[in-house]
Amino acid sequence: MRREAHVPRGGVDGGDGGKGGDVIFVTDTSRRDLAHLRRKLRYFADDGGSGGRRKSHGADGEDVIVPVPRGTQVFSADGRKIADLTSGEERAVIAVGGRGGWGNTHFVSSVRRAPQFAEIGLPGDEEELELRLKLMADAAIAGLPNAGKSSLLRRISNARPKVGDYPFTTLQPVLGTIERPDGSQLVVVDVPGLLEGASEGVGMGHEFLAHFERANMLLHTVSLEDIESVPAHFAVIVDELWKFDPRIARLPQIVVLSKSDLVDDEQVTRARELVDQAAAATADRRGPIHGVYALSSATGRGLTEFMQGLFAASAAPNERAPERDAPLEMHLDEYRVYRPRSKRRRWRIYRDKDGFRVAGDPAMHLLAERAAEDEAAAEQLQAFLEDTGAMRALRMAGGRNGQTVNVGGVPLELWWDMPGDDI
């Protein structure tokens, strides 16, 4: 209440409460994984401040910023994708703070000159989320188990993946960075070996194949240990990528004939011919081939030519399939904000001596103001209250058809058709 010298009966003077803070995910280009989120699993934004005297508005709560690496996907508890953060300037407002409650100045009427109560603010969002990181890479190494993928990554980059002479040495994707002649870098990812049937989930195929979605190019690796099996091994990878996602299969690729130290030059020539035949047979299910290189990660044979071809292909214009490309105007969309719609309760019901009062988010208040004069808006408000469960809650609290209810500060007569109601 306003209490000031020489101002008798100053009347109500309370301000509104502040809005609660939001929890926001922001892409951080310096981060490469989600390990920092393992150390802290719960994030809380600040509460809004209480309204003060002289109708002063309470302070809004501080937002909580959670940094995540590029390539982070956010899923709700029911598996619904909420956000896909792929660039360095994206934000996802994951949990929205609740609206502050109204101060007692909003409840003055001709019969209530000095209300001694205020409104409680609405609760903020509470979300349980699953975060998945799809690796962002310039090139991804694809091939069957034990094709020499990890040895290749170890030889050309700063990565130190586990290397062994047995299948499935690599069980998790490994990122490596290659320094280019101009000082810039390429990021290459070694994905665990794929089996025939990977597109149907064989050998954790779906988990492994998903990491190809964020690559710009494929390094299709085929071992030369068995020359006559080269066409079949080449076709298996093309077919599995095609079945999983044709857009991935159509990525530009470089074919790497690994372990060339185990064969002679004549066998290498024979392997190149077999690759040409396999490439011709799968031309409708694969992307363009930027070169075929026979090399040995053990001796370094052919690595110089391969690196030159890799740098040249990465510097070339992107040749992805048209349906994979974003619309032309999307290159201007450098800053994007996701605002997922929460399933939280968007209203509160209060009982006072005049009956029931419903408070909610701004959309409900706007509808209520229009509903007093617009029949269409009244129907929209009715649908809003029914869809969000407010009508059912009113009925369970003792409300009856035709009763006047204060909705967002506007007195309205509400009706609903439920068994047992008085008409």
* Averaged pLDDT of the chain: 77
pLDDT of residue 322 exceeding 70, the answer is no
Give the chain's domains with CATH numbers.
23-133 (2.70.210.12), 139-328 (3.40.50.300), 347-413 (3.30.300)
Count of Cβ atoms closer than 10 Å to residue 87 Cβ: 14
Q: Which residue has the higher pLDDT, 121 or 318?
A: 121
3-state secondary structure of 291: strand
Q: Report which of 48, 120, 107, 123 is spatially closest to residue 350, judged by C-alpha positions.
A: 120
Are residues 253 and 212 in contact, defined by beta-carbon separation less than 8 angstroms? no
Q: Does position 216 have pLDDT exceeding 80, yes or no? A: yes
Please tell me the least confidently modeled range out of 4-18, 49-63, 155-169. 155-169
What three-state secondary structure class fits 142? strand
The DSSP bridge partners found for residue 188 are 139, 176
Q: What is the pLDDT of residues 362-405, one digit of tens each?
A: 677 777 778 777 778 777 877 877 777 778 887 777 777 777 78
